[in-house]
């Protein structure tokens, strides 16, 4: 696979075109978040190489991030370089130990939970950066205005702590297509206005599988194995990323079209590596 930026070039106008934050960017200008995040990082008082994971079941799962502690197979040059940089920088406990409610990730949660608890997490962990993904539960429980307000507030409290938030657009969900579009656009808006790094997971899913990302579709009903084994990017439950054993920790084009968690790991890795290179280790 050629080095690819997260792009929202999508069928049916599901999502608007989003700006990119990929590690392998070829444009001469640096991303607009670099200079502001250097200012934020100058206030940081904790340990370098700490990365928190704030989110719901899509984040607390050991299928997210933890597999990258081992070297994935079939990486292209850009991903391999990003992986090497991250492995050499990230503290070991942040790969697999920072999982569970006291670390800011738990199943069934929404941005309301983060809004109520982020100060506690920041005080306990004082992370250098934090990947943030809420939305899959939120689309069924609140209006986008509340989601946007609370997500922005969570991000701003991270910034005041000297922690750099890496926002992530929530993946599309079966039965909530219009809400998912609105919620993903709210994340892009916050990232743009607050000058934050962003992982456009939603756009990546729809770029690769614009018509059949949804494992709840009839053609996947008889796929062998459990709900996570469906050969597309969202599991048969229509909510969680898929995780077929055939493509776990595989960064090939085929795997990135069929393994939802692997795709999230891939795009998160590229963005975090760029943050390390451009801000966290910048002289």
Q: What is the sign of the dihedral through the CA atoms of 63, 68, 74 and 77?
A: positive
Tens-binned pLDDT, residue by residue, of the chain (283 aa): 333 444 432 333 333 333 334 444 444 478 999 999 999 999 999 999 999 999 999 999 999 999 999 989 999 999 999 999 999 999 999 999 999 999 999 999 999 999 999 999 999 999 999 999 999 999 999 999 999 999 999 999 999 999 999 999 999 999 999 999 999 999 999 999 999 999 999 999 999 999 999 999 999 999 999 999 999 999 999 999 999 999 999 999 999 999 999 999 999 999 999 999 999 998 5
> What are the angstrom distances between the C-alpha of 235 and each of 55, 212, 232, 241?
18, 11, 7, 5
Domains of the chain: 30-214+263-280 (3.40.50.1110)
Residue 270 C-beta-side C-alpha neighbours within 13 Å: 27
Distance between CA atoms of 104 and 100, rounded to whole angstroms? 7
Q: What torsion, rounded to 10 degrees, do the Cα atoms 31, 36, 38, 41 define?
A: -130
Whether the pTM exceeds 0.95: the reply is no
β-pairing verdict for 51-55 and 129-133: parallel
Nearest of 260, 212, 210 to residue 233 by alpha carbon: 260
Which residue bears the tokens 């009903």?
A: 221
State the distance between the two ends of the chain, measured CA to CA, in whole angstroms.
32
């Amino acid at each position: 696979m050629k080095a690819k930026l997260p792009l929202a070039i999508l069928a049916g106008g599901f999502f608007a075109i989003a700006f990119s934050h990929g590690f392998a960017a070829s444009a001469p200008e640096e991303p607009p978040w670099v200079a502001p995040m250097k200012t934020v990082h100058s206030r940081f008082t904790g340990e370098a190489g700490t990365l928190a994971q704030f989110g719901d079941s899509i984040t607390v799962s050991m299928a997210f991030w933890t597999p990258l502690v081992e070297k994935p197979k079939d990486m292209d040059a850009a991903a391999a370089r990003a992986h090497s940089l991250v492995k050499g920088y990230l503290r070991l406990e942040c790969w697999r130990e920072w999982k569970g409610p006291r670390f800011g990730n738990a199943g069934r949660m929404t941005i309301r939970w983060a809004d109520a608890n982020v100060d506690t997490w920041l005080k306990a962990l004082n992370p250098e950066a934090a990947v943030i993904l809420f939305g899959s539960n939120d689309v069924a429980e609140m209006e986008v205005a509340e989601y946007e307000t609370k997500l922005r507030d969570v991000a701003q409290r991270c910034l005041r702590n000297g922690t750099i938030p890496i926002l992530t657009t929530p993946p599309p969900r079966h039965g909530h297509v219009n809400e998912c579009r609105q919620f993903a656009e709210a994340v892009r808006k916050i990232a743009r206005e607050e000058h934050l790094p962003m992982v456009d997971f939603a756009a990546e899913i729809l770029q690769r599988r614009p018509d059949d990302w949804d494992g709840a579709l009839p053609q996947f009903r008889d796929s062998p194995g459990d709900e996570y084994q469906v050969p597309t990017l969202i599991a048969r439950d229509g909510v969680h990323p898929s995780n077929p054993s055939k493509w776990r920790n595989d960064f090939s084009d085929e795997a990135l079209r069929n393994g939802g968690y692997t795709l999230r790991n891939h795009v998160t890795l590229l963005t975090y590596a760029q943050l390390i290179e451009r801000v966290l280790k910048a002289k």
